[in-house]
Structure 1
Amino acid sequence: MRRGNGFTYNTMVLLIVVLQYCGFLAHAVLNPVDFLALQSIRKSLADLPGSNYFSSWDFTSDPCSFAGLYCDGDRVVALNLGDPQAGSPGLTGRLHPAIGRLSALAELTLVPGRVVGSLPHSLSQLKYLRFLALSRNFISGVIPAGLGQLRGLTTLDLSFNQLAGNIPLSVGALPALSNVILSHNRLNGSIPAFVSQSLARLDLKHNNLSGWLPPPPGLPPSIQYLSLSSNRLSGPVDRALSPLNRLNYIDLSMNQFTGFIPVNLFASSITNLQLQRNQFSGPVQPVNPVTTPTVDLSYNRLWGEISPMFSTVQNLYLNNNRFTGQVPATLVDRLLDSSIQTLYLQHNYLSGIEINPTVEIPLSSSLCLQYNCMVLPVQTPCPLKAGSAKSRPTSQCIEWKG
């Protein structure tokens, strides 16, 4: 290319791009960097059949009028990829690293679809990002440690994907997090300590996480919703959970936790307590009447007598443990007046229950007593997993008492 009047080939190319962009100025007022980033994002994604999300993405018009895109002045501040209101099947393709050039972006979401590939490391450049939700796709790879640079991030939802590797320590160190939802992935390693004192929801269920819960202050007392179900977590939980006095939902089921169940987990504020299929042991003696509607302590190694404090629970699962003694009369009374809807006591070492053999169990209530150290006073339908044997062999009952 011949040079003249100080122009070079690169200068002319840049001029052509600028002139092309200026041709849209009658409509578009978007910053050129954001404009070009959106073009790259559009090329890397497509509508699944039945979706028409991108039909409004006409780059000869004002990009700030595109579906799912919101501007503040000449910058993109929110990008909702796909239309959650339309019930469409979502998008396919990959997330382009150009997302990281939308430097004013505060919100980035992706509707359920078939987007694949890894999370762009350029996300760490979005220093104003507050809300990141990319759930229910096929995103793989690891969670970039660079997300720990997003100091203002409040919500991180990467659930229902195919992410693997550890949860970065840098993510746990984010100071403003209020919601962390990483469930239904393939994450492994231990749970990092979370420092945010505003963290309210921590959902890590259905992964391959292992190790003990982080000791205080690893789980901040601000947590209200805690779900760690279906992992390989182990060790005692009393030290980690005792400071959590704002819990209203807790699910630790299907892990390998051991030791005593902390008394504070039977507090009145908790609406659902799921501790089944672990290795918890010891007696369970709540201090006050338990008003949690559903308490599931089944498939553990709990022993001792059943506390009458459980008579205020609506759905009580104590089956497949090592409880002994009589079933408290208050539980029977509450069952017969339909206050207790489910009372599963099968596969324990209970020695008796005071109930009239001719009594009719309310249709709205379920009682299962089989495979204990008693002759069943009433015949009630039990789940198939309870087996067909009505009582334990006498030898087992004598051995357990001894």
Structure 2
Amino acid sequence: MSMPTPEERAGEAFTEAAAEAVQTSTMAFRLMMAIADAVRRQQQQKEAGREEELPPVEKAVPEATEYAKKYLPPDIGTALMDGADWPMLAQQLMALGGAGVDLEALMPRVAEITVTVRDAVAEHARKALEDEGAGRWEAMLREAVPAGPVREAILSSPAWPDIATKMASLDEKGVDVRGVLAAAHKEGLGVEQAVASSLGAAAPSTSRDALLAYGPLTTGLDVPKNLTLKDRARALVQLGVRDADARNVRMVREAMPGRERDADLMVSDRHWPLISLRMAEMESRGEPVAEHLARLMQDTSWEKGTGTLGTRLVRAAADALTRPVGDAAGASRPVVSSAAAKATSPSVGPTKGVSVTKGGPRPAEPGVAAHRDSGPAPSKGRTR
């Protein structure tokens, strides 16, 4: 017997999720009937001093079945009537009618509530299943494809879930998905350049945000040339930390107990996405991010200085995250040459790059971003 394909497994999972949504909606119906019956009983006891008995099952079931078929969607109605407690529910429903409740007005409202519950549960399950399936492939995509327009286009595309499904199918058949992604990235760059050329667009230039961020904040990071820090949501997508950012924010707040307001100022700073990216990359390498962040409370020199408190904290966090655990404050603060900064850009394409060394800029290995290395500042010239 052959194993089910990823598409078949996904179909089975969605079918199970839909069934669960219907069952949840029947629970909502039961809840409403129980509440309505309790109110009926209390009101009859209050007004007449006694509760009316429930109508006979043999009379209530056929009548309630007609109401269920008339007002409830087939899936919800069938699930209810197949349940072992349907006779009791039928009695409760018809007892409400006997007590003066207009069932022709009540049932449409009850039906609307059950449908809302069903659809909400189904949508939640659908998103959870898609996230679970796509999460693995998104991680692989980020590892196999350098940050830049191609990766951004894939992840932001409405077709991304379908792309992830195709990746899963290829993997199931023994295909090297990473190799395919690497090849697709090269082709994607060609498509991007061809389209830009046909539209008369200029070659991508380094954005002002990327240029201004160059230095200690970006050392060792793969920063896209078109980085747009003024748009927080876009920056997080460009840097590939949209999903990890909430966790990173929480980690910073936890690392600064009693100073959460200060932590919030750092997180609201426009350069925060770069700190979030560094934290995410450190976690992916298994580095103790929390231990690094603890330095923010051990050395509070960021409380004074130039710039806003949020900006000072961003700089302090970058320093705390880049120094090895155990190093004293300031022992290995990265220093960047302004001459080197002018000679290089914050990010490069996947096949070329520049590393900064003591002797000035030199060609780097293929696939290495401009910020991968930094060395001591030259003896002349100012530093950033």
TM-score by length of 1: 0.22
Structure having the larger proportion of residues in strand: 1
Rg larger for:
2
Structure having greater relative contact order (Cα 8 Å, sep ≥ 6):
2
Structure having the larger proportion of residues in helix: 2
TM-score by length of 2: 0.23
